Every structure is written in C-alpha cells, then in structure tokens.
Chains A and B, each alone.
Chain A
C-alpha cells in the first residue's frame, strides 16, 4: 500500500463535490491539498465532505465575490426542502435565468415590431402625389406661360401625370384648319389624355405638326387631336382619359385615379371626329 494517495485520487475526491461547491472551493481545496502531505485519512475526509455536501443540498456556497460584496451578511437561509422535493436553483441562477428570459423575450419583441412596422410601411398606399392620385397641374395662366399655344389648341404635355391636357374647342378648330383662341377654357372644355397607348402601352409621342394627330411609334396606332381612334394602326379604342377639374383657386387638377377608357362620349355623329386629312395619311416623322 502506498504511503499517501495519488494525485488522481485526490482529484477524484474533489470532483465528487457538487458543482456549486467545486466552483467556490475547488481551487482552494486543491491548493490546500498540494500544500501539505495528503494522508489516506485526508482523502477519506474529502470523500466524506463530498458525501455530506450532497446530503445537505440546502447548504449552497455563494460565489465568493457575492459574499465579499455583501460583507459577510448571510442571505436568508433557504428552508430545508421536504424529503423528495426537488431543490430549487440558487438565487443567483434564478435571477440570471429570469434576466436571460426577459432579454430573449424583449429581443423577439423588437424584431417582431420591426418586421411589422416594415411590412406596414411597405404596404401603406402612397397615392397623395404621383400617378394614381390627384395631381395639380397649375392654373390656366401657369399653363399658358409654359405653353403659349395652349390657347390656340396645342396640347400641353404634363409629364408628372403622363398626360396631354387638351383645350377641346381650340384643338378642334386647330385640327379643322381654322384656329381660334380660347384663352380661358372651363373644366368641361378640358381633356386629359393618358399618354399610354391603349394598344400595348407605348408612350404616345407629341402631336404631329403636319396632321394634328397623335401616332404611336410602336405600331402606328393613330388618334386625332381629341384622342379618338382613327383607322390607322392596331389599337381598338381611343386614348384613355383622366378626370379633370378646376379648383376654387383656379388650379387645374388631374385625377389619375379616375380613368375613362375609349373614345369621347359625344354621340355617334362625333364618335370619330373628322379632320381634312385622308384617314391613311402618315405623319412624316
């Protein structure tokens, strides 16, 4: 028999202690055992201490820093659990668990709120301005300043609404070859033609100077100055129109959410507005 127990046996004895004990006293006990000659009695005493620690789970060593911080004032001793009862986790572990759980819950909550907020912001309709909503063009005087020929029937192109604003009586006279001046058209004398060709959606170009017609460059669909379909080209109806109104302040407003399809509803006799040029005449551009 050896005179004293080997180091692995001593380590085994230290490992026999509960975790909380090892965490608190493991270093101290190992250092103590190294400092002196370890006898078999000491080894037995260590095993007995480990057994005792497991037998009395209500004696829970606190972390040393906690004991130092509280200056040795004992935490209220937990009541000894009833036989068979599962000992509850020590206070420090409980508060850590609660803290971690709350942090996890808060994190999930924040991410959910961000996701919800992002989804709502993405789906929120934004039709206050731009195509799809009401678009203020300006007063008749503003339009006249930018397009002096508007009074004599030339279309005014307004890109934000993707529309031609037409002064209907003057435009008709212009197309018929005897222009008139119509400086103050009323709201029902205005027409907003959507510059999207009803055939396949190309942008309808500016008015052809020679013929006073619109001809789509994509497939040659041709419309007169009021957007009515002429015989040339594959389109099946006239250009679509937005609702137009003039506010109390005199500002012309195009409501691009209200679209009327097809030709002007002016009765059969005006369904195709006739101009002096032959139906198959092509714009030179």
Chain B
C-alpha cells in the first residue's frame, strides 16, 4: 500500500478514520457534526470514544487540523496531506472494485 505508514497501522480505527476523512472533505466540522454526517451518508454510527481516538491519530499524522473552538465545540478541517491520503485510499479501493467486477462478471449487471 502506498500510504501504509499513514493509514496502515490504524488497526480497528482504519475504517472510521476513512469515514471521518470523507466527512471532512465537504468542509470543517466539529465532533457532533462529524458523527451525524457519517451516520447520514454511510449508516455507520461512530461512538464518541472511537471518534476522538480517530481524531487524535489523524491529527498526529497531520491529516486533519483543529480550528479555533466555537464555545465548547472545536471544528476540524482536512489538511492537504489528509486530502492526498484520502485520494490515494479511494484510488486503491477503486482498483479493488474494478478487479472484483472483472472476476465476478455476473455481478456487474
């Protein structure tokens, strides 16, 4: 994987991390907005503990960055590195999808 060092060692947080990156790609959001957004576009419910474990890891890798807090809520934005990583992951998934469709032609409808 090209971005092994960025996403590869996230373990059980790899999937929610991808969902958070997708959510932030439409603009900065605070914690609660990310959770609602992810639930609406993927149906996945991310718990608060998981969310902040993911936010801490993504921030440490420089893929997201905090903004000035609005009262008690702090929004986060996607950084250039985060956008590049998301792009690479989506390409990888696209290739996987293509391969799967080629192998199972009857599914391609």
Contact = CB atoms under 8 A, between A and B. Distances in A.
A28 B56 contact: no
Give the interface residue-count category, chain B: 20 to 34
A73 interface: yes
Give the interface residue-count category, chain A: 35 or more
Contacts of B74: 28, 64
Given A72-B64, A72-B65, A29 B48 contact: yes
A31 B69 CA distance: 12
B93 interface: no
Interface string B58-84: 011110111111011110010101000
A77 interface: yes
Given A46-B48, A49-B52, A59 B62 contact: no
Contacts of A28: 30-31, 52, 69, 72-74
A67 B47 contact: no
Contacts of B68: 68
B105 to A, nearest CB: 40
A42 B47 contact: yes
A49 B81 CA distance: 25
A68 B48 contact: no
Contacts of B98: none
B49 interface: yes
B66 A68 contact: yes
A49 B66 contact: no
A48 B52 CA distance: 11
Contacts of A45: 47-50
A249 interface: no
A25 B65 contact: no
B3 to A, nearest CB: 14
B60 to A, nearest CB: 6
A67 B68 CA distance: 10
Contacts of A62: 59
A134 B65 CA distance: 79
Given A46-B47, A68-B66, A74 B61 contact: yes
Contact of B53 (A49, A68, A74, A77): A49
A60 B88 CA distance: 26
A41 interface: yes
A32 B32 contact: yes
Contact of B31 (A32, A48, A68, A73): A32
A29 B52 contact: yes
28 contacts: A13-B49, A28-B30, A28-B31, A28-B52, A31-B71, A31-B72, A32-B31, A32-B32, A32-B35, A35-B32, A36-B32, A44-B47, A47-B49, A48-B47, A48-B49, A49-B50, A49-B53, A53-B53, A61-B59, A62-B59, A64-B69, A68-B68, A71-B65, A72-B59, A72-B62, A72-B64, A72-B81, A74-B61
Interface of A: 13, 21, 25, 27-33, 35-36, 41-42, 44-50, 52-53, 59-62, 64, 67-68, 71-74, 77
Interface of B: 30-32, 35, 45, 47-53, 55-57, 59-62, 64-69, 71-74, 77, 79, 81
**Ranked 10 nearest A-B pairs via Cβ:** A49-B49, A45-B47, A72-B65, A74-B62, A31-B72, A45-B49, A46-B49, A72-B79, A32-B31, A35-B32
